[in-house]
Amino acid sequence: MLAQAPHPGPAVQSIPHVRIDGLNKWFGAMHVLKNIDLSVGAGARIVVCGPSGSGKSTLIRCINGLEPFQKGTIQLDGTALGRNARDTATARRLTGMVFQSFNLFPHLTVLANCTLALRLVLLKPAREAEEIAMQHLTAVHIPEKAQAYPAQLSGGQQQRVAIARALCLNPRIMLFDEPTSALDPEMIKEVLDVMIALAGSGVTMVCVTHEMGFAREVADEIVFMDEGRIVEHASSRDFFSRAAHPRARLFMDTIL
């Protein structure tokens, strides 16, 4: 099932799943994230957009613990990520990540891709891991490919497996980095449909995408980035009716 039980308990729900304060990151001399503040509440559906090179992937990768950063704090469920060390243990446990390029393990079957972390990270017995994986593969409409290898699947099918794999660990938040931009046009819809269902099931999502139809349908907040800054953060309704920042308006004109 896509429907993940919302993580219960008032103590947990009162803490945003992600809280970013004053985040700054440099690649060498290049300042790529500038004073980013962002709070992602439980059940929020946030779409991040902006021109290429504006820092969207880097931001997502910082939340996922894939990138060190130099200044500011990132808290996941109230626990601060380390700034210097790649804090993979905490971040990976709490976040599910879906990349543009699927990143499935080519030498493992679809099922084994999905059960790997369940077995190695959560130490689930094989049978239970397979049951969980099959539930998620069913939810993304691809249970019949459980024994196939990634190379035997279309791009859209691989991306749906990648989503199922990320969901297997029951993450607090799902992070998507342009999940449909590597897909042929006819496969985009099948992936977006899965993401729309996921949004409907209450999973907290931060999604980098230029699919503005999707953003309009599922996002409750839109973050627009430019040159390493968040230059606009608005409710979806406000953003689409009157994106205030000139750069955001220009960007919308180029992609719509």
Which stretches of the chain bind Mg ion, using CB under 5 A? 56-57
Q: Are 118 and 132 in contact (CB under 8 A)?
A: yes
Please, which residue, 74 or 129, has the CB nearer to ligand ADP? Answer: 74
- Phi–psi pair at 188, nearest 5 degrees: -65, -40
Binding mask 39-58 for ligand ADP (x = CB under 6 A): -----------x-xxxxxxx
Q: Is 204 in the site for ligand ADP (CB under 6 A)?
A: no
Q: Are 153 and 110 in contact (CB under 8 A)?
A: yes
Distance of CA 69 to the CA centre of its chain: 19
Please, which residue, 32 or 191, has the CB nearer to ligand ADP? Answer: 32
Q: How far is the CB of 192 from ligand ADP (least distance, A)?
A: 19
177: three-class secondary structure by DSSP: strand
Please, which residue, 45 or 56, has the CB nearer to Mg ion? Answer: 56
Q: Is 32 in the site for ligand ADP (CB under 6 A)?
A: yes
Please, which residue, 63 or 132, has the CB nearer to Mg ion? Answer: 63
Can you tell me the distance from the alpha carbon of 108 to that of 37, in angstroms, rounded to the nearest whole number? 39
Q: How far is the CB of 178 from Mg ion (least distance, A)?
A: 6
Q: How far is the CB of 57 from ligand ADP (least distance, A)?
A: 3
Q: How far is the CB of 69 from ligand ADP (least distance, A)?
A: 12
Q: Is 202 exposed, middle or buried (0-12, 13-18, 19+ CB in 10 A)?
A: middle
Can you tell me the distance from the alpha carbon of 181 to that of 155, in angstroms, rounded to the nearest whole number? 11
Radius of gyration of the chain (CA): 18
Can you tell me the distance from the alpha carbon of 93 to that of 103, in angstroms, rounded to the nearest whole number? 18
Q: How far is the CB of 176 from ligand ADP (least distance, A)?
A: 12
Which range of residues in 27-35, 36-44, 110-118, 180-188 is near ligand ADP by CB under 6 A? Answer: 27-35
Please, which residue, 188 or 208, has the CB nearer to ligand ADP? Answer: 208
Alpha-carbon separation of residue 221 from 61, 139, 155 (angstroms): 20, 25, 28
Q: How far is the CB of 212 from ligand ADP (least distance, A)?
A: 16
Can you tell me the distance from the alpha carbon of 139 to that of 117, in angstroms, rounded to the nearest whole number? 19
Count of residues that bind ligand ADP according to CB under 6 A = 11
21: nearest Cα among 80, 72, 82, 84: 72
Q: Which does 54 bind (CB under 5 to 8 A by kind): ligand ADP, Mg ion, none?
A: ligand ADP
Site of interaction with ligand ADP (CB under 6 A):
27, 30, 32, 50, 52-58
